[in-house]
Amino acid sequence: MTSTDCVLDVRDFRMDFGATTVIRDLSFDVRRGETFGLLGSNGCGKTTTIRALLGIYTPTAGTLLVEGKRYEPGSGVRLGYLPEERGLYKKEPVLDVMTYFGRLKGMTRSAAQTWSQGYLEAVGLSSHAKLRLDKLSGGQQQKVQLGVTIMNDPDILILDEPTKGFDPVNRRLLMDLIEERRRAGATIVIITHQMEEVERLCDRILLLKDGKAEAYGTVADVQDQYGGQAIRLGFSGVLPTSTHFRVVSAETNYAELELTEGSEPTPVLRELLDAGVEVRSFDATRISLDEVFLRVYGAEASTEGDATPRQAVA
């Protein structure tokens, strides 16, 4: 890989806050045009890494480069960052807020206003353009924040929990917008707990645990590292006990089965049908990233908050 192929480059990164070490000797890269997933339980250091990459924090050790150099606002790199903690002027009208941020990104007032009006129309908010932002629902405000993030057609998009608080319709809308930026050639980093989105969108992923890289590679590589072949099953009935598979997870109409060593999908399907199970869908694949996440983090996944000490954020 040449240096021009590497958009984000993190090498031997360490981050201490006082006596607390949040990140330990972390190295990874993000390649031009790919969608990269930065994953982990709450508190593992994901947001801290992004803040150091963007110059918000000064690393204790290591190098973090954007397009081959330390990132500075105004450096000419077109970068859009959607933070987990949203930040907009809530007492101002929606269109005015978006136009203001467009001006900050170097757009003319006319261009920023025209772009914002088109975006609001596309996401179903054109009738809200003159409303104060605090009159919008949380999901509607999230759409505005996303618009501010992408309005200068950034070459690099960093999205921290972009679908947080979205219903399925708005989540699909957001995924379409991200895919549109991907087709336009943007490099995208997604921080999320929605593993199905990661499986669908990401080329490669990094799983952080206790500030270190627990797994790093393509989605398939990471799935293979933590489990074997699996069946994703839509069904009704009672699953039989079997030597060919074990039930990884089961709900009323859905189950994930992991094949035992040496087993194949066809005998499993036959066994299910012989047991009277009504099979609605039968997808032979790798274990899901949801299951990988549970195997890596277990009870840690329910811990709230980033590992960054509160006083360091202020």
- Domains and their CATH numbers in the chain: 3-223 (3.40.50.300), 228-286 (3.30.70)
Whole-angstrom Cα distance, residue 9 to residue 22?
19
Q: Report the pLDDT value the prediction gives residue 200, as an integer from 0 to 100.
A: 86
Q: How confident is the model at residue 313 (pLDDT cuts 50, 70, 90)?
A: very low
Give the model's confidence band at 83: pLDDT under 50 very low, under 70 low, under 90 confident, else very high: confident
| The pLDDT of residue 314 is above 70 | no
Task: Name the amino acid, one letter, at 211.
Answer: G
φ and ψ of 162, to 5 deg: -65, -25
pLDDT at 301: 52
Give the mean pLDDT of the chain: 88
Q: Which residue blocks in 124-216 are alpha helix, DSSP H?
A: 138-150, 168-183, 195-201
β-sheet with 20-31: strand ranges across? 20-31, 6-17, 61-66
pLDDT of 264: 93
pLDDT of 12 strictly over 80: yes
pLDDT band at 302 (very low <50, low <70, confident <90, very high): very low
Average pLDDT over every residue of 94-116: 93
pLDDT tens per residue across span 143-180: 898 899 998 889 999 998 887 777 788 888 888 888 88
Residue with tokens 């094949």, as numbered in its chain:
259
Which of 21-25, 141-145, 252-256, 274-278 shows the lowest mean pLDDT across its residues?
Answer: 141-145
| Predicted local confidence at residue 1, as pLDDT | 58
Segment 212-240 shows an average pLDDT of 93
pLDDT, greater one: 193 or 190 = 190
Tell me the C-alpha to C-alpha distance, in Å, between residue 226 and each of 49, 192, 223, 240, 249. Answer: 24, 20, 6, 25, 15
CB 58 within 8 A of CB 64: no
100: left (phi over 0), alpha (psi -120 to 50) or beta: alpha
For the stretch 37-59, pLDDT in tens is 999 888 889 999 999 999 999 99
Q: Is the pLDDT of residue 228 over 60?
A: yes
The Cβ of residue 243 has, within 10 Å, a number of other Cβ atoms equal to: 8
In this prediction, residue 250 has a pLDDT band, given cuts at 50, 70 and 90, of: very high
